[in-house]
Structure 1
Amino acid sequence: MSKKDMNLQEKFIELLTNIDFPENEIIKNWLDLDKAYSKKSRHYHNLTHIQDMIYSYEKYSDQLQFPNEVLYAIFYHDYIYVSSKKDNELKSAEYAIKILPKDANLNSKMVFDTIVATQLHQHNDNEDINWLIDFDLKILARDWDDYKIYFEQIRKEYRIYPDFLYKPGRANALKHFLENEFIFQTNEFRNLYEEKARANIEKEISLLT
């Protein structure tokens, strides 16, 4: 187990302990999570992505009203990920709620809503959900070399599709971000990352068309 995975495991165990998971279920749930995110088909939506989101979470956790709900949602938001399916977020949310103990110290509705919100990445009345959406999309504002690695990883996850299908589909998904008034939902992330994310997206679109 790498140091990164060890840190994730410790964070996961601490969270599930704090929200009153039975001790005998905690390690089992970690092993299930690790297995799900470590599938060979996952080139981007893996534990590295979860780790990146948790870095942001730890930096901005003092902005959150419901930090445990947000952290739990981070761990499970891509638990189900099949590139040919359109209901991954819904299935992930359903799973995350299903495994919660009946007396868990967690707002299950908020967890469900937070995970589902990662499908469309649109502004939410709940500011905690907006923070998680921004944690999820921060990759869009990386330096170009890192951003290029990201979209190459996404292409590998969609390798079942030939270029003539993938390229216009990816371009349309990216254009959707540009059509919104903002990509990021919090003022903090807009000020820090909006301009860079838009430049990266425009450059990737130019390579796809």
Structure 2
Amino acid sequence: MTSLEDRFVGAARGAGATADEADLAAAGAYLLSRWSEPQRQYHDVSHLTAVLDIVDEHAALARHADRVRLATWMHDAVYDPRALGDANERDSADFAEGLLTTLGTPAEVAAEVARLVGLTAGHATGDDDPDGELLCDADLAILAADPERYAAYTEAIRREYAHVPDDTFRAARAQVLVSLLELPAIYRNEPLRERWEARARENLEQELRKLAAGREMLRAAQPRRPQPRRDLP
């Protein structure tokens, strides 16, 4: 097994999965094959690993850390850039519950992991949800990256949505950024908020300015329609 597969097996065991070692390892390998699909430019194994590392580092913030780890494995298990709305998150949640049930995970645990996966559609958690808060904070950690890494992230997102015209992409991306900036806090856990909040907001605001400048450049480059002569009837 690879080290990542080992991490999946450990999380599944910790969450109560009763399948044998070979089946758990096969499930981990299958998940890695999903995370390695060619349409993924950002939502790939590197993203999975980064989120897992943050969850491991801050596991003490969670109530059930292994459930959060499993939700990390599952949260983009289904990823189609052409899907509409929250279809990817809903399908990933359904996939998670089905796979974990097959692996002998208790039904209430499989359902809870599916619930956690669903939270990543809007990254909104309710009161007293430390597991959901840690998952959402870890998933959004990239927003607080240094400028070079943040730029690489935005470029990868654009490649994932290469099928979307520039003007449509800029408008949709701007809407996402504004919705994040309008949150009272992007990060819910205080230690992570103290580390990441200011930097994330700076990155988001700078990207918004670039998107606005790009829209203006697109408008300027479009040929103007000839105006009718005023002396003609």
| 1:42-90 deviation per Cα after TM superposition (whole angstroms, max 9, x unaligned) | 0110111111111111111122111111110000100001112121111
Are 1:167 and 1:208, in contact at CA under 8 Å, matched by a contact in 2? yes
Count of matched residue positions in the alignment of Structure 1 and Structure 2: 205
Are 2:141 and 2:196, in contact at CA under 8 Å, matched by a contact in 1? yes
Distance in 2, matches of 1:187 and 1:201, equals: 20
Structure 2 unaligned regions, length at least 5: 213-233
| Corresponding residue for residue 26 of structure 1 | 24
SS of structure 2 residue aligned to 1:153: helix
TM-score, with length taken from structure 2: 0.83
Alignment of 1:104-119 (within 5 A): 104-105=105-106, 107-119=109-121
Structure 1 unaligned regions, length at least 5: none
SS of structure 2 residue aligned to 1:79: coil
Are 1:122 and 1:185, in contact at CA under 8 Å, matched by a contact in 2? no
Q: How far off is 1:13 after superposition?
A: 2.0
Q: Which of 145, 151, 155 is the matching residue for 2:154?
A: 151
Q: How far off is 1:109 after superposition?
A: 2.6
SS of structure 1 residue aligned to 2:58: helix
Distance in 1, matches of 2:76 and 2:19, equals: 23
| 1:160-201 deviation per Cα after TM superposition (whole angstroms, max 9, x unaligned) | 101011011101111110111111111112111100000000
Alignment of 1:2-17 (within 5 A): 6-17=2-13
| Corresponding residue for residue 80 of structure 2 | 82
| Corresponding residue for residue 165 of structure 1 | 168
| Corresponding residue for residue 199 of structure 2 | 196
Q: How far off is 1:101 after superposition?
A: 3.2
Q: For residue 127 of structure 1, what is the amino acid of its counterpart?
A: P
Are 2:39 and 2:81, in contact at CA under 8 Å, matched by a contact in 1? no
Alignment of 1:176-187 (within 5 A): 176-187=179-190
Q: 1:43 to 1:21 in 2, by over 3 A?
A: farther
Question: Kindly, what percent of the aligned residue pairs are identical?
Answer: 27
| Corresponding residue for residue 37 of structure 1 | 35
TM-score, with length taken from structure 1: 0.92
Whose Rg is larger?
Answer: 2
Distance in 2, matches of 1:110 and 1:94, equals: 11
Distance in 2, matches of 1:27 and 1:128, equals: 24
- Structure 1, 181-190 or 5-14: larger mean CA deviation: 5-14
Runs ≥4 in structure 1, deviation > 6 angstroms?
Answer: none
- Structure 1, 61-70 or 199-208: larger mean CA deviation: 61-70
- Structure 1, 140-149 or 29-38: larger mean CA deviation: 29-38
Distance in 2, matches of 1:194 and 1:54, equals: 20
RMSD: 1.6
- Structure 1, 8-17 or 154-163: larger mean CA deviation: 8-17
Are 1:21 and 1:101, in contact at CA under 8 Å, matched by a contact in 2? no
Are 2:5 and 2:29, in contact at CA under 8 Å, matched by a contact in 1? no
Say yes or no: does 1:61 pair with 2:59.
Answer: yes
